[in-house]
Amino acid sequence: MRILSLLILILFAVGCKSPEARRPVSQNSGSYIDESVEKNKEMIAKEEDYIKKQMGKDTDTEFLTSADGFWYYYNKKSTDTLNTKTPEFGDVVVFDYSISSIEGEPIYAEGEKPTREYAIDKEKLFTGLRQGLKLMKEGETVTFLFPSHKAFGYYGDKNKIGSNVPITTKVTLHSIKEESNEPNN
């Protein structure tokens, strides 16, 4: 009986031991991620250099640099001094756009994409165009030059635009409708 009590006491003591964390079988240093980051930085730098070289060939155009990492120029700029409104979060904009390669070869010609209605930052749209629309006023036409990470990135558009392709996008903003703060009935 004494042995049984001693055995129960030992099992109880061992059973109440707190669990120990298991060590991983292998540990990664994160070098793969570091290599990937460096590779992407190099790719972006090459794309940006190429875009700048293409812009340098067009000496008649005044290119502007956005704070978001792309370039643009006005095909048609608003001269109306009362027209100062640019789209903000939630505003609904109506626009047309076409997409070309950086060299100017059409990918989606004018009229090939339907007129688009878009609620700013509330719907899906590729990053560069989403940021570019916020720079525009009603009635303006702007051409944007986007590096691939601002366009369709690694995946492309799964149709005509391949992986890591910088693009030129010509956009005409037809209207801006301010977001309504009224509750829907």
Digit-coded pLDDT (tens) for 151-166: 999 999 999 999 999 9
CATH topology of domain 61-79+87-177: Chitinase A; domain 3 (3.10.50)
pLDDT at residue 185 is higher than 50 = no
CA dist 88 and 76 (Å) reads 21
Provide the pLDDT for residue 80.
84
> What average pLDDT does this structure show over 113-142?
95
Judged on CB neighbours under 10 Å (0-12, 13-18, 19+), 167 is buried
Tokens of 6: 């001693």
CA dist 70 and 154 (Å) reads 17
**Cα angle 133-59-43, degrees, rounded to a multiple of 5:** 60
CA dist 90 and 101 (Å) reads 30
For the chain, what are the domain ranges? Answer: 61-79+87-177
pLDDT at residue 1 is higher than 90 = no
Percent of the chain with pLDDT over 70: 86
33 vs 98 pLDDT, higher one: 98
Mean pLDDT of the chain: 89
C-beta separation of 87 from 93 below 8 A: yes
pLDDT at residue 45 is higher than 80 = yes
Provide the pLDDT for residue 18.
66
84: confidence class by pLDDT, cuts 50, 70, 90: confident
Of the candidate ranges 87-96, 152-161, 172-181, the one whose mean pLDDT is the lowest: 172-181
CA dist 139 and 137 (Å) reads 6
Provide the pLDDT for residue 135.
96
pLDDT at residue 137 is higher than 50 = yes
pLDDT at residue 182 is higher than 60 = no
